[in-house]
A = this chain, B = another copy of it.
Amino acid sequence: MFSFVPEMKITAEIITIGDEILIGQIVNTNAVWLSQQLVKIGVWVSKIASVGDNSTHISYSLKQALLSNNIVIITGGLGPTNDDITKKTLQDFFKTGLKKVDEVENHIKSTFKKVNVEFLPVHEQQSYILGNSSLLFNNYGTAPGMWIDENEKTVIILPGVPKEMKGIMSDFALDKIKLKYKLPEIISKSIVTYGIPESTLAEILKETENQLPDNIKLAYLPSFSSVKLRLTSVSYDLNFINTVFENCFKEILQKIPTANIAAIQDLKQEEIIGKLLSDKGKTLSIAESCTGGYVSHLITSVSGSSQYFKGSVTSYSNSAKINILEVEQSTIDNFGAVSEQCVRQMAKGVRKKFDSDYAISTSGIAGPTGETPDKPIGTVWIAVCNRDKCLTKKIKLKGNREDIIKNSSFTALEFLRQLIISE
């Protein structure tokens, strides 16, 4: 896992304000995004704190954060409603007044005009920023962002609406951070592997990993049936990156069996398959039972997928399997819908129906109901075929309905990838 390296000398703390995070109503996605952006430009996030709409807690957290960090980023509580107390709290904290910014007021007025909402006094207060701050203009909403220089330290105040927070950071704040502080270069390269367990990878790479310099870290990012390796270097010396880092990456690449390497970049499984199909000019169709449309959703979530994806049938009923996919009644009668014979006929049927080069089919018990003595919940049959042959496999998955739907979908995509590259 990529973790702190000594080269990251500039540190930040993120303070998100709002009760909704403390009661688990929303996930703190702002902090996730902010951390990713800061690490990318070479700023180490030492702490993420979520506090409620409470002046005492906000001031106290800010005081603590300033003691041990160069940068503090505060998000949330800048709206016009009563529980939005950030600005008032910071006024007291910095013992400063407010100053009106006409640019912001005009922006708010014109925004309201567009949607035919009357501009009220309650809205006017949004055009004020802290007296000791400079404006970070908000192109995506009405609450302005603020930048405060406390000697060498910086406090950045942003709205909590993700679109606005991200917009202000990307438009202004990240660049201002890069200008104010001397930051190291960060470079990352990824390898997506399939069919090789994390522990085996760790064993293969043990020696290389132990010899990595302090400022190069190897991260193992396991997901279902796949492990992504990310090599990251932090350095003020570009030459170091071009030589040492590249050599370390090459060494790692050489040690992993080629068959297990799906991509030498940061791609999702569905993107890897999309790339394989477009490169070969081949097409795909899908027949889904237990996965209920999720495999198709993954494939079509990739932009440009209409170039290689012809379509799919979710045959949730036996009649649909028989009438649309031309599965034989006798197959269902003799072996059941969750059987090798059935997925084989589903895959062949859908490939024929859509006249595609490849096809995937799935049939299984996602649960919590529908299990039989010989077919427990999590039993899933998968078939993949091209114009010549059809391969099948049976998997047994653990977990709830969602786990089983998603993990059988991932397995089906990986099964197809293996068929494609085997040709």
CB pair B320 A311 closer than 8 Å:
yes
- A275 is an interface residue with CB less than 8 A from chain B: no
In the assembled complex, the CB of A250 is this many whole angstroms from the nearest CB of chain B, namely 24
Q: How many residues of A contact B (CB 8 A)?
A: 77
- Indicate with 1 or 0, residue by residue over A297-334, a CB within 8 angstroms of chain B CB atoms: 10111011110011111111101100110000000000
- A185 is an interface residue with CB less than 8 A from chain B: no
Bound form: Cα–Cα A32–B21 in Å: 7
- Indicate with 1 or 0, residue by residue over A14-28, a CB within 8 angstroms of chain B CB atoms: 000001111111011
Beta-carbon nearest neighbor of A325 in chain B: B311
- A57 is an interface residue with CB less than 8 A from chain B: yes
Q: Quick one: which of B20, B296, B303, B320 contacts A354, CB cutoff 8 A?
A: B320
CB pair A314 B301 closer than 8 Å:
no
Using a CB-CB cutoff of 8 Å, which residues 249-283 of chain A contact chain B? none
Contact segment of A90-98, A141-149, A363-371, A388-396 = A363-371
- A54 is an interface residue with CB less than 8 A from chain B: yes
Using a CB-CB cutoff of 8 Å, which residues 115-132 of chain A contact chain B? none
- A46 is an interface residue with CB less than 8 A from chain B: yes
In the assembled complex, the CB of A229 is this many whole angstroms from the nearest CB of chain B, namely 13
CB pair A32 B24 closer than 8 Å:
yes
Q: Which residues of B contact A53 (CB under 8 A)?
A: 3-4
Q: Which residues of B contact A22 (CB under 8 A)?
A: 35, 44-48
Bound form: Cα–Cα A45–B224 in Å: 33
- Indicate with 1 or 0, residue by residue over A344-368, a CB within 8 angstroms of chain B CB atoms: 0000000001110000000000111
CB pair A299 B310 closer than 8 Å:
no
CB pair B20 A301 closer than 8 Å:
no
- A205 is an interface residue with CB less than 8 A from chain B: no
Bound form: Cα–Cα A139–B69 in Å: 40
- A174 is an interface residue with CB less than 8 A from chain B: no
Contact segment of A164-172, A238-246, A287-295, A379-387 = A287-295
CB pair B36 A221 closer than 8 Å:
no
**Could you list 17 A-B pairs, sorted by A, with CB under 8 Å?**
A1-B25, A22-B44, A22-B47, A22-B48, A23-B35, A24-B32, A24-B34, A25-B221, A27-B27, A27-B29, A293-B297, A300-B314, A300-B316, A301-B401, A305-B316, A311-B320, A312-B313
